Amino acid sequence: MKLQGKLVVVMIFLVAALAAIFAIWYRYSQTYQAVEFWGAPTAKLIARAPEAEVLWLGPFESDSVGETLDVDGHRVSVLARHDASDVHVARGILNVRNALGVNASFDWEASGRCSPTWQYAIRLSDGTKDVTLLLSLDCPRARRLDRPGEVSVAPIAESLRGFFEERFPDSKEK
């Protein structure tokens, strides 16, 4: 009788270990391309950064007073910003951040046939590191501000558009 009890406990631990291994493999298979594209530190910020800000971008104008971003030598103006740190106020930000970390959200085979106009940005920070992600939805592309390299976000472009237009209703008209 004692041997059967020990065997049951060993079997439970074995099943738990196999389930953990499967969970790790499954998560890796769902995210490895996104982590490789963004870089591990950026992928960690996308997933866990406590501070998040959503920006609406527009063409730079010489009389612009607000913040500007330098994208490959071209300046773009920040037209509006929305604090997205509080998930209760920034409804949908967790879904957006999760999507940006999953392989299926990107079209890895799409070539850059269009020229993106960066319409939105998401700035993430953990207090010591920060990153700004640029998003174009008319030519559905994403990239980091601090380095070249783009990827198509066509599979999630309409969901992203809904998220950003909810925060910046005036951006629908531009």
Q: Are 133 and 143 in contact (CB under 8 A)?
A: yes
Measured in whole angstroms, the distance separating CA 25 from the mean position of its chain's CA atoms is 21
pLDDT over 80 (residue 51) = yes
| d(C-alpha 103, C-alpha 38), whole Å | 11
pTM (predicted TM-score) = 0.83
Nearest to 143 by CA among 45, 38, 62, 26: 38
Per-residue pLDDT of 27-48, as tens digits, reads 777 788 998 999 999 999 999 8
Per-residue pLDDT of 59-84, as tens digits, reads 887 656 678 888 888 889 898 888 88
Q: Is 72 helix (H, G, I), strand (E, B) or coil?
A: coil
Domain ranges of the chain: 2-173
State the pLDDT at residue 90.
74
Q: Which residues contact 119 (CB under 8 A, 6 or more apart)?
A: 56, 57, 58, 135, 136, 137, 138, 164, 171, 174
